[in-house]
Structure 1
Amino acid sequence: MSQNTVSSHDDSTLAAYGWDDGWQAAYARATADPATAGPDPLPGRVVRVDRGQCDLVTPAGTLRADTEFVVPRDPMRVVCTGDWAVVDADGAPPYVRTLLPRRTAFVRSTSSKRSEGQVLAANVDHALIAISLGVELDLGRIERFISLAWSSGAQPLLVLTKVDLVPDAATVGHLVADAETSAPGVQVLPVSAETGEGVDVLAALLAGGTTVLLGQSGAGKSTLANALLGHRAQAVQAIRDQDGKGRHTTTTRNLLPLPAETGGGVLIDTPGLRGVGLWDAEDGLGQAFAEIEELAADCRFQDCAHRAEPGCAVLAAVEGGVLPERRLESYRKLLRENARLAARTDARLRAEQRRVFKQRQALGRHMMERKRGVRRRG
């Protein structure tokens, strides 16, 4: 095998995990540089990440590799499930040399005060958001997930799970309509992994691509994953009766191949998310609230805040019953959150720049003092 090329046999092996001509070209560019190629590189897709190590599917089989070589201090460049990488398979142990440029990335803000992003999944085609119908439908949570999904570059898909717990078809119809209002441009599919309702349709929609499955604990993600995979790959636990919340059945993000008979592709299952903070989601908010953005184009003032300005088309739509007031309030809330995070992130970057500048100043003073000392002694 040459350094930059995967043989046709190995190509077909990786193809089941999403390898295509675009990734081949990116791999060839990365391995053209001896610094990132190493003596005998291999392409690989990350299927699981542990602390400092990851499992990758490669032409040589599944390898366990160290990840410390890949800029560990940058949270946006930490190796993530779904990444394509250049692997030094001859290392002791093998290690990831570099990541191929990501096509998409699902990112949320961390709960820490450092204002950092956390990549939950990389190179995904579909962001499959699971919302349980076993509890009251939380439209605000749907809007938050959809905003992040659009921001990722992936196509959002909203699945209303546990439809078998809803007493009648009319109620299901109303819930689907409410969800569609909160997710314009997104397909909403009611599904029951227990009865199989909607699973075949969902499998056909996901065929051949990479899908990340997201949602709160208790949303039925593991049961849905097992239904799509065709076998019990993920453990399932009962939810708590008192609040409808589940325990974290899935504890790591795993990339799993979907059955070839249903079209193939891969599924990234993720642990239940208690919080989904926005991260650089301005574009995603614009798509998630597309009808408000369209209405705003007809406001009298370009910088209209949709509060009390004369000639506000958005407020007129609320007053006329065209736009739900709850929808506008949710839009305002998420915009404020995104703006606060952007300001905090900018402040953190400015602080880091000041720290580096001060270090350089101190180093410069130190070097000058050394030169003066040498001159005096001379």
Structure 2
Amino acid sequence: MTADFGRQFKVAAAEGEYAAEISGRLRHSAEAGAELPAVGDWLAAELLPGEKRARIHGVLPRRSKISRKAAGTPVREQIIATNVDTLFLVTSLNFDLNIRRLERYLIMAWNAGAQPVILLSKADLSEAGFRERAAAEVSLAAPGVPVHIVSAQTGEGMEEVAAYFSGGRSCALAGTSGCGKSTLTNRLAGGELQRTSGIREDDSRGRHTTTHRQMFPISGGGVLIDTPGMRELQLWEGEEDGMSGTFADIEALAERCRFRDCTHEREEGCAVKEALGSGELDAGRLAGYRKTQRELAFLERKEKSRSSAGRGAGSGKRDRKERRSKNWLDED
């Protein structure tokens, strides 16, 4: 699948690209819990004779899956892209740079089975001093993750980014609206394929221009999936692997705590508290770790509540209480 427009799709076969629809059997199976196809999926599809249309009958096994919690209720998963080797986490070098939000993107990438790479975009619009400080701060929050300062306008850093597509690899872009994903897509694909727009001057926030997910071939080999900007990233359940990858430094400290069930609050012999006191661990990073733990625990409670059979009359009160406690999901 090369494009998802909501109710319409595009697929690529050896004979070319086709408009596609999902078969009734597959859609019925999805209602029973099976997953619908997403951009990046390899498919079992029927090419309709004499037409430039195809009918999708099935989804082949995936090697990676990038997803998040869909907005609204009930709790459900929204698949962003599949079979991705490298996930570019794009954040612009302006006042919209947010380390805590970047940590959430890292969790999503590690849990998906994709290699995260951070792109600090729009380097041509920022001063050298700010760029250096931002890169240093991001590197501390993402140990071991490649960080590149790039500009699609001047070409700075684009050779390093293009190297990730070697060997026919699949890459995807993720980030907030206006961080420069579509401009990067146009630069890498060698044409004006995606519509772009500027940012608001008062708060450096971007305008929402990309409204669908689409795959583009990259000259020299490989493909790139551009995705709509995420105004809010709510993590999907079962992100433990992503937590370990993103907060490996905190979890390594926790291994040295005196008590295995240490909450890192008031216990004696807490290595995390000691690191916080000595300045080895940043207070904001620890706050992000705790906030993410609360969010994942919340998702687990919601899923258990949704799947439990025969809810009692008191469940409505519990649900209302959980909805009132959701304020910690808001971005800093």
**Distance change (3 Å), C-alpha of 1:94 and 1:222:** closer
Note if contact 1:76-1:118 (Cα within 8 Å) is conserved in structure 2. no
The 3-state SS of whatever aligns with 1:72 is: helix
Determine the structure 2 residue equivalent to 1:267: 224
The 3-state SS of whatever aligns with 1:107 is: strand
Determine the structure 1 residue equivalent to 2:322: none
2:10 corresponds to 1:55: yes
2:130 corresponds to 1:171: yes
User: Distance between the aligned counterparts of 1:117 and 1:203, measured in 2?
Assistant: 31
Match of 1:132 among 92, 112, 133: 92
User: Distance between the aligned counterparts of 2:46 and 2:165, measured in 1?
Assistant: 32
Q: How many angstroms does 1:135 deviate by?
A: 1.9
- Aligned pairs for 1:6-17 (under 5 A) are none
Determine the structure 1 residue equivalent to 2:65: 105
Which stretches of structure 1, 4 residues or more, deviate above 4 A after TM superposition?
A: none
Q: How many angstroms does 1:65 deviate by?
A: 2.0
Determine the structure 1 residue equivalent to 2:300: 342
Q: How many angstroms does 1:75 deviate by?
A: 7.1
Note if contact 1:125-1:154 (Cα within 8 Å) is conserved in structure 2. yes
**Distance change (3 Å), C-alpha of 1:266 and 1:74:** farther
Match of 2:273 among 315, 328, 344: 315
Determine the structure 1 residue equivalent to 2:173: 213
Q: How many angstroms does 1:333 deviate by?
A: 0.2
User: Distance between the aligned counterparts of 1:74 and 1:299, measured in 2?
Assistant: 45
**Distance change (3 Å), C-alpha of 1:104 and 1:76:** farther
User: Distance between the aligned counterparts of 2:34 and 2:77, measured in 1?
Assistant: 6
Which structure has the bigger radius of gyration? 1
Q: How many angstroms does 1:206 deviate by?
A: 3.1
1:90-148 alpha-carbon deviations (Å, 9 max, x no partner): 37863111100111110100111211110000110011111011225211011011111
Determine the structure 1 residue equivalent to 2:160: 201
2:111 corresponds to 1:151: yes
The unaligned stretches of length 5 or more in structure 1 are: 1-45, 356-378
Determine the structure 2 residue equivalent to 1:190: 149
**Distance change (3 Å), C-alpha of 1:324 and 1:75:** farther
Q: How many angstroms does 1:224 deviate by?
A: 1.0
Determine the structure 2 residue equivalent to 1:121: 81
Note if contact 1:76-1:117 (Cα within 8 Å) is conserved in structure 2. no
Residue type at the aligned position of 2:144: G
Determine the structure 2 residue equivalent to 1:234: 194
The unaligned stretches of length 5 or more in structure 2 are: 312-332
Note if contact 2:6-2:212 (Cα within 8 Å) is conserved in structure 1. no
Residue type at the aligned position of 1:154: A
**Cα root mean square deviation, aligned:** 1.7
